[in-house]
Amino acid sequence: MKYSIKTLIYTSLIATLAACGQQKAQETTPVESEPVAQVIPVKTEYGIVTEDFITEMGVVKSGQTLSGVFEHVGVPRNIAAALNTLPDSVFNVKKVRAGNQFTVYRMQDSLKTPAYIVYHGSIIDHAVFKTTDSLSVWHFKKPVTSQTKVSTATIETSLWDATVSNNLNLNLSLELSDIYAWVIDFFGIQKGDGFTVYYSENYVDSVSVGIGKIYACKFTHNKQDYYAYRYDNDSLGIHGYWDENGNSLRKAFLKAPLKFSRISSRFTYARKHPVYKVVRPHTGVDYAAPMGTPVVAIGDGKVIFKGYKGGGGHTVKIKHNSIYTTAYLHLSKYGKGINVGAQVKQGQVIGYVGSTGASTGPHLDFRVWKGGSPIDPLKMESPSVEPVPAKAMDAFKAVKAEYDEKLASYGDAVIR
């Protein structure tokens, strides 16, 4: 059979167009995809699948035991009684406190049988009890998250009130008073003082559970700025807070032997005694404080007197070195292990505020001698401990520079 060239070309063209059309159809024909299974997250609490249960809350009443709680919510008596056989290492029933909450997880049956009971020991620690068939228990800790922030406050009356009025965590005032205990007299806080602090705060379920770490702070007191920078160097064994020049904020002596009180009487050589009604020297400082407030040694030293001393009542006297001696009067009782000859550490409890001796109410009469002569405790200068070593100074300055930027950025940070 003979074909002309024109016929061959035409036939080839038709075949090519047909092939292209078939390929285009294949390309444009939709392909049915496999159905994708939708994953629905299972809601759990304390390791319990909550959607399977009805929940109800309760509070441990005064005088109520945990086994009593179990029986009250419908747990069989034999299972509730098994609580008392648990080893303390598994769960100590004696630590159950009135006022703490518990949650009951009931089955969705006609009896609403309690399947699990969770005792909330704290916002973090929870004990989960399985109460069907037999008793079993496990412990559940809620995760703690940390958030860094910068906060600032101006003081109107006290450091405590400033934290409250600015909706800050109350532990912040305690932490700051500890950091600055050697350099700021918190009994002399004035209106207009204030602070800017860079720190971390811990949360559980968006609820604040305390301060993590304070990294840096600028505390303004009596128009003077006091800086504190956290710097640790494990290889050199140095830890603590330092000022802008690398000097430790820790001093040989604390500024005061007790926390959060007021000065009811100052150092003077002409005071009318409130009991004896005569003018006589008062070579100390009286701190009014609630009965039983802990009193601490302002520095390391040796107890040289412990006993009842006339108008001073129960008294402890400590010799710190060849120069300084301190005394703590009108105590209600003494601290553990406080006896003549005992070595005490700075911050150690040596007694508790009382009103023994010639006293009109609970307070601490605090006295200091320098070289055998009485001095005003509020005017006593205290040397720092060793500064940041020279070989670590560059590293300290780098940390300081980073923290200074944080303190300066408080306008853009989380302000509370």
Domain boundary among 141, 165, 197: 141
Mean local confidence (pLDDT), 22-28: 48
Residue 132 has pLDDT above 60, yes or no: yes
- Please provide the DSSP assignment of 265-329 as one string: E--EEEEE-TTT-SEEEE-SEEEE--TT-EEE-SSSEEEEEEEE-GGG-EEEEEE-SSSEEEEEE
The first and second tokens of residue 33, run together, are 């995809």
**Structural domain includes residue 24:** no
- Looking at the fold, whether 91 and 130 belong to one and the same domain comes out as yes
Residues in the chain: 416
Residue 246 — very low, low, confident or very high, per pLDDT cuts 50/70/90? very high
Residue 166 burial class via C-beta count within 10 angstroms: exposed 0-12, middle 13-18, buried 19 and up: middle
The backbone region for 88, taken as left when phi is positive above 0, alpha when psi lies in -120 to 50, beta otherwise, is: alpha
Domain boundary among 141, 163, 192: 141
**Structural domain includes residue 355:** yes
Number of H helices and E strands in the chain, helices first, is 6, 24
Asked if 173 and 142 touch (Cβ cutoff 8 Å), the reply is: no
pLDDT, tens digit (0-9, with 9 covering 90-100), for 205-232: 888 989 999 999 999 999 999 999 999 9
**Structural domain includes residue 280:** yes
Residue 371 — very low, low, confident or very high, per pLDDT cuts 50/70/90? confident
Domain that includes residue 74, residue range:
44-141
What are the CA-CA distances from residue 168 to residues 140, 204, 208, 250 (Å)? 28, 16, 10, 25
- DSSP, collapsed to helix, strand or coil, labels residue 27 as helix
All residues at 6 or more sequence positions from 8 whose CB lies less than 8 Å from its CB, including other chains = none
**Structural domain includes residue 10:** no
Asked if 344 and 350 touch (Cβ cutoff 8 Å), the reply is: yes
Backbone angles phi, psi at 209, to 5 degrees: -120, 15
- Looking at the fold, whether 297 and 365 belong to one and the same domain comes out as yes
Give the C-alpha separation, 199 to 153, whole Å: 14
Give the C-alpha separation, 125 to 118, whole Å: 10
**Structural domain includes residue 3:** no
- Looking at the fold, whether 183 and 274 belong to one and the same domain comes out as no
pLDDT, tens digit (0-9, with 9 covering 90-100), for 268-325: 655 555 555 555 577 788 998 899 999 999 999 999 999 999 889 999 999 988 788 9
- Looking at the fold, whether 364 and 266 belong to one and the same domain comes out as yes
pLDDT, tens digit (0-9, with 9 covering 90-100), for 66-117: 999 999 999 999 999 999 899 999 999 989 999 999 999 999 998 899 999 9
Backbone angles phi, psi at 165, to 5 degrees: -70, -20
pLDDT of residue 233: 92
Instruction: Look up the CATH number of the domain holding residue 171.
Output: 3.10.450.350
- Looking at the fold, whether 120 and 195 belong to one and the same domain comes out as no
- Looking at the fold, whether 363 and 268 belong to one and the same domain comes out as yes
Q: How many domains does the chain have?
A: 3
Averaged pLDDT score across all residues of the chain: 85
Instruction: Look up the CATH number of the domain holding residue 334.
Output: 2.70.70.10
Domain boundary among 108, 141, 174: 141
**Structural domain includes residue 27:** no
- Looking at the fold, whether 308 and 284 belong to one and the same domain comes out as yes
**Structural domain includes residue 92:** yes
- Looking at the fold, whether 238 and 270 belong to one and the same domain comes out as no
pLDDT of residue 184: 85
Residue 53 has pLDDT above 70, yes or no: yes
**Structural domain includes residue 81:** yes
**What's the Rg (C-alpha) of the chain?**
36
- Looking at the fold, whether 388 and 247 belong to one and the same domain comes out as yes
- Looking at the fold, whether 177 and 124 belong to one and the same domain comes out as no
- Looking at the fold, whether 266 and 375 belong to one and the same domain comes out as yes
- Looking at the fold, whether 247 and 391 belong to one and the same domain comes out as yes
